[in-house]
Chains A and B, each alone.
Chain A
């Protein structure tokens, strides 16, 4: 074994990051944030096609965005859709994954495959197939069908973090411990399992919320104008006025961020209580 790369006693060698490391990180940061920053600037620009920076700044696009006829309706529809998908997929995924983990480990591989499927099927195919299959039912082109579709589509985003979190705790033994203390399955799930996999549940919820909030293809093809969501409005405005579309994008980011912060706050409440208890020792 070479001793040069492994210093004794595990003391890390303090080394300045190499130039290429800094460059790589800088490139990554730019790559991630430049589009967001430019979208934001475009939303407050008066005119931005002849110069490097906008010629002037105005909040006019936001005023017009908020005044857009469908603004409130689409925002409401998007929130309804995203929040319902989070709730429904929580109700489906958490008990299912828990059940499979503790009682039916043989089904785990089947579940894994099921959870990869949505990635394998193009959304256009999924949407058109659903429209056809349900064409003769009352569900045809209804928001309920859309909800079902986006839940299927976003399920892996809920499944993965929840399954990982369950894997990390010894769910099986904790369940048995709960049972031996007289708790039924519902109590075990709510008082023992859920609190211990909360970080997974929260990141899953966040991912589902963000995915569904930004969902365009399924909405466009399944319900179209009858249940217009925020992304539909946004796309519509890219053809009318770029600045207003940019303002919509910024609003959309902001909502996603606010939702993230809110969810993380709720999630860290337990954590804070734990930290407090630790300090009280």
Chain B
């Protein structure tokens, strides 16, 4: 049975729908990310779980108890904010101890627990400092320690790493995952950064316009996106618009693509074929690959990304295709050179084109 359960939760802000009929079951001890562009309703949903916003409809249940109308201070749900929200007038120790004091624990218990959580975030030596004397990364670790100190039933993280620089972000997200797994605490993580969501989550909830687009593991979300939004929002995908032309072909304006079996589509139906750049191979001469899709084009842009180099290839007037070339598979590619792109039919994801 689900530990945290959202049923048809909706929220509207002065006529604008922020979250629409959001239903989700979250297992105990799992880390679930809400991922989506800004304004997709992920933070609003999180705030409704925390109790900072009241849903207009639907219910939120935690461990079998309906908490929809329970005030935030009685939900026993910890929260980490983007802006850290440490209390500036209190030392690190006082910040971490705050929630424990609210629970009226004895001084010994408070001290013991404070030391435990500071140990967990590896910041034992900062207890007497004030928040403004710490770096952003340290402050966020203290905020995490403060939220964990009270042993909440659920931990909510609202874009916790957005204010930090890249290096700290990667280190801290690994740390968050480590602590989360160690404590097996049910966690909801809101982010607009797909790398973050994909790397630390048990399950990812992709949202757009207040609606869940897809729920699944990181691999499912990436490899088998259920709709065009997910496919294009997560990673990069080349889009070929066309009509179903047979059992396994899609006729685009100036090219014909061989795809996997097209069951569930009508002949002539408008579809979009999605191909990820890393599934496209680049060749200096026309490759001899039976059954593959082979496109000829001219290199327009070359962008170095470190592990891969991304090429923008001009196929025809309407179409530009991006392909990733790894160092290992690096044909001598220069600007304005004619190249051949190849990809397998299985690399094509075909979706109905409703928009």
Contacts and interface: CB of A to CB of B under 8 A. Distances in A.
B87 A182 contact: no
Contacts of A177: 79, 81, 85-87, 143
A195 B87 CA distance: 10
Nearest to A185: B73
A183 B73 contact: yes
A61 B50 CA distance: 67
Given A173-B81, A173-B83, A187-B102, A281 B133 contact: yes
Which range contains the number of B residues in contact with the other chain?
A: 20 to 34
A180 B83 contact: no
Main secondary structure of the interface of A (DSSP, over half): helix
Contact of A173 (B85, B102, B103): B85
Contact of B52 (A179, A191, A192, A196): A179
Given A181-B150, A184-B73, A278-B130, A176 B83 contact: no
Interface string B78-98: 110101011111010000001
Contacts of A170: 83, 85
A179 B71 CA distance: 9
B79 to A, nearest CB: 4
Contacts of A174: 85, 87
A169 interface: yes
A238 interface: no
Given A170-B83, A277-B130, A281-B128, A179 B72 contact: yes
A183 B102 contact: yes
B218 interface: no
Given A176-B72, A195-B89, A183 B50 contact: no
Interface in B98-138: 98-99, 102-103, 128-130, 133
Interface string B144-156: 0011001010001
Interface in A249-281: 270, 274, 277-278, 280-281
Contacts of B79: 176-177, 180
Given A274-B130, A277-B130, A180 B91 contact: no
Interface residues of A, number: 24
A178 B128 CA distance: 20
A96 B272 CA distance: 56
A180 B72 contact: yes
A179 B102 contact: no
A173 B50 CA distance: 13
Given A170-B83, A278-B130, A281-B133, A182 B88 contact: no
Contacts of A195: 89
A179 B73 contact: yes
A97 B176 CA distance: 37
Interface in A189-221: 191-192, 195-196
B236 to A, nearest CB: 34
A181 B85 contact: no
B89 A196 contact: yes
A281 B128 CA distance: 8
Interface in A149-183: 169-170, 173-174, 176-183
B211 to A, nearest CB: 26
A84 B268 CA distance: 83
Contacts of B91: 277
B154 to A, nearest CB: 10
Nearest to A277: B128
B119 to A, nearest CB: 20
Given A176-B81, A177-B81, A180-B79, A270 B102 contact: no
A213 B78 CA distance: 48
A181 B102 contact: yes
Interface in B143-176: 143, 146-147, 150, 152, 156
B161 to A, nearest CB: 16
A174 B150 CA distance: 17
B123 to A, nearest CB: 14
A122 B198 CA distance: 65
Given A173-B83, A183-B73, A187-B102, 12 more contacts: A176-B85, A179-B51, A179-B71, A179-B73, A180-B50, A180-B152, A181-B73, A181-B147, A182-B73, A182-B103, A192-B89, A270-B89
15 contacts: A170-B83, A176-B52, A176-B79, A177-B81, A180-B50, A180-B78, A180-B147, A180-B156, A181-B73, A181-B146, A182-B73, A183-B98, A183-B99, A187-B102, A278-B129
